[in-house]
């Protein structure tokens, strides 16, 4: 019995030490394997780079499917450089219609204003003179009107002559014309109907006039400070409706025959690489720029609002003067080397795909591709016709490469 207990204890001790040794050897083997791969990579930098080997079960579980790279019939698309611009049909430059000095400034850069909203108030001595002329003309009209009405009554009793009646009628019509001219002048310098009615009721001169927004939109320029003396020729504000913008593309001379009105365009900008903005060509310039040998092409696009989505103070996602890539679809079709969208993976700024070397071994490869067209990307470089690529399960392989990189580090 005693010897049996001793034997069991010695066996347990040997088993524990054996496990520790095995674990140690396993860890050392992993380290040695990593070191061996690193040394091999240094000696043969182009050999075996980006190779991933999975077990047959892992391949099946990931649902990996492959197909050969082949020619696909795709709609031909061309990409040109361009920029975002304000839609000039929805742009207003606002200036005063009379000289004076700014006593109130309400609108600031980036403010969203509605049509008819006051932007600033100007105090103008010239306006006071025009209002004085209007009040004088109104008074003359009232006097002439009363004289004319009285003349019509007494003419029936033959108290006055026809000649006297016609004289008073002439004075009334002349006073009416002068009053209308004075009122129109007030309208021309920016006074509203309510402002003019207030002057007539109160018989008081107000030398201040507001500058109103002619359209609803965002204030994109402001050239006015409080107390500044201004002239009628100077624009004070620029207001643009940023909900709808233009994109202007420069088309090289050789590509002009490929571009037609009504063609669809897809616009991308660097701040939002994953977003596309769509529109149609509505204008092709009739002249070529002699310096760049390009022709201007314009498309109108809707501009989604930037957060908060219930306000337009900051405009939309697109900003005027942003550089843009303008992709124009044509009616042409061409056989191009292309791969499906499912094969494409991103690794930082690189585009990668996985080549099937055999049933369980795959190679990661950096490629260059064009824009997506009907679910396919044109291959610009990095692949040859006939090479088998992973079209489903590529994300699993990408995860494996990331795992290996972390282990090596």
Between residues 32 and 291, the one the model is more confident about: 291
Could you report the per-residue pLDDT of 30-39, keeping only the tens digit for each?
445 444 444 5
Q: CA gyration radius for the chain?
A: 40
Say which range, 12-26, 104-118, 299-313, 373-387, has the weakest mean pLDDT: 12-26
Which CA distances in Å does 174 have to 27, 36, 63, 139, 200? 111, 108, 94, 13, 19
**pLDDT classification of 45: cutoffs 50, 70, 90:** very low
Global pTM value: 0.59
Question: Phi then psi for 122, rounded to 5 degrees?
Answer: -115, 135
pLDDT at 10 over 70: no
DSSP assignments along 79-114, one per residue: EEEEEEEE-GGGEEEE--SS-EEEEEE---TT-EE-
Q: Distance between CA 48 and CA 262 in Å, rounded? A: 50
Percent over 70 (pLDDT), the chain: 83
Tokens 């043969």 — which residue? 44
Mean pLDDT, rounded, for 274-289: 92
Upstream peptide bond of 308 is cis (omega within 30 degrees of 0): yes
**pLDDT classification of 9: cutoffs 50, 70, 90:** low
**pLDDT classification of 297: cutoffs 50, 70, 90:** very high
The whole-number pLDDT of residue 202 equals 77
Mean pLDDT, rounded, for 83-90: 95
**Is-contact 315 256, C-beta < 8 A?**
no
Mean of per-residue pLDDT scores for the chain:
82
Mean pLDDT, rounded, for 255-270: 90
**pLDDT classification of 21: cutoffs 50, 70, 90:** very low
**Is-contact 391 342, C-beta < 8 A?**
yes
**pLDDT classification of 147: cutoffs 50, 70, 90:** confident
Judged by DSSP in three states, 22 sits in: helix
Q: Distance between CA 265 and CA 78 in Å, rounded? A: 10
Could you report the per-residue pLDDT of 165-193, keeping only the tens digit for each?
888 888 888 888 988 888 888 888 777 78
Beta bridge partners of 104: 121
The two tokens of residue 350 are 């690189």
Mean pLDDT, rounded, for 130-135: 85
**Is-contact 262 279, C-beta < 8 A?**
no
* Residue of 73, 127, 34, 78 whose CA lies nearest to 370: 78
pLDDT at 279 over 60: yes
Mean pLDDT, rounded, for 46-67: 80
Tokens 């079960």 — which residue? 57
The whole-number pLDDT of residue 43 equals 43
Domain with CATH 2.40.30.170 in the chain: 66-81+242-408
Between residues 204 and 113, the one the model is more confident about: 113
Could you report the per-residue pLDDT of 343-362, keeping only the tens digit for each?
999 888 889 999 999 988 99
Q: What is the CATH number of domain 66-81+242-408?
A: 2.40.30.170
pLDDT at 17 over 50: no
């Amino acid at each position: 019995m005693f010897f049996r207990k001793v034997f069991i204890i010695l066996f347990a001790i040997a088993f524990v030490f054996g496990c520790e040794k095995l674990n140690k050897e396993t860890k050392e083997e992993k380290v040695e394997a990593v070191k061996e791969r690193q040394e091999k990579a240094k000696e043969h930098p182009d050999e075996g780079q980006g190779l991933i080997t999975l077990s047959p079960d892992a391949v099946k579980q990931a649902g990996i499917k492959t197909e050969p790279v082949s020619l696909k019939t795709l709609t031909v698309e061309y990409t040109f450089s361009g920029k975002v611009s304000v839609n000039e049909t929805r742009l207003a430059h606002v200036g005063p219609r009379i000289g004076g000095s700014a006593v109130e400034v309400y609108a600031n850069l980036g403010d969203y204003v509605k049509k008819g909203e006051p932007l600033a108030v100007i105090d103008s001595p010239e306006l006071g003179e025009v209002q004085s002329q209007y009040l004088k003309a109104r008074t003359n009209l009232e006097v002439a009107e009363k004289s004319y009405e009285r003349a019509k009554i007494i003419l029936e009793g033959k108290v006055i002559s026809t000649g006297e009646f016609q004289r008073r009628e002439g004075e009334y019509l002349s006073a009416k014309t002068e009053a209308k001219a004075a009122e129109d002048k007030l309208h021309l310098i920016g006074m509203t109907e309510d402002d003019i009615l207030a002057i007539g009721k109160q018989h008081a001169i107000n030398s201040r006039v507001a500058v109103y927004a002619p359209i609803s939109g965002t204030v994109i320029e402001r050239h006015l400070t409080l107390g500044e003396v201004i002239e009628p020729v100077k624009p004070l504000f620029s207001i643009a409706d940023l909900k709808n913008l233009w994109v202007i593309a420069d088309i090289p001379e050789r590509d002009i025959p490929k571009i037609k009105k009504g063609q669809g365009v897809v616009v991308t900008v660097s701040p939002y690489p994953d977003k596309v903005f769509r529109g149609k060509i509505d204008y092709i310039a009739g002249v070529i720029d002699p310096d760049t040998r390009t022709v201007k092409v314009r498309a109108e696009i809707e501009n989604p609002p930037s957060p908060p989505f219930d306000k337009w103070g900051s405009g939309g996602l697109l900003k005027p003067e942003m550089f843009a890539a303008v992709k124009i679809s044509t009616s042409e079709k061409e056989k191009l080397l292309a791969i499906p969208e499912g094969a494409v993976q991103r690794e930082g700024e690189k585009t990668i795909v996985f080549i099937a070397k055999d049933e369980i071994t795959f190679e990661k490869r950096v490629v260059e591709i064009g824009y997506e067209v009907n679910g396919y990307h044109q291959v610009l470089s990095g692949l040859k016709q006939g090479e088998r690529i992973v079209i489903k399960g590529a994300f699993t392989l990408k995860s494996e490469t990331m795992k290996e990189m972390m282990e090596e580090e």
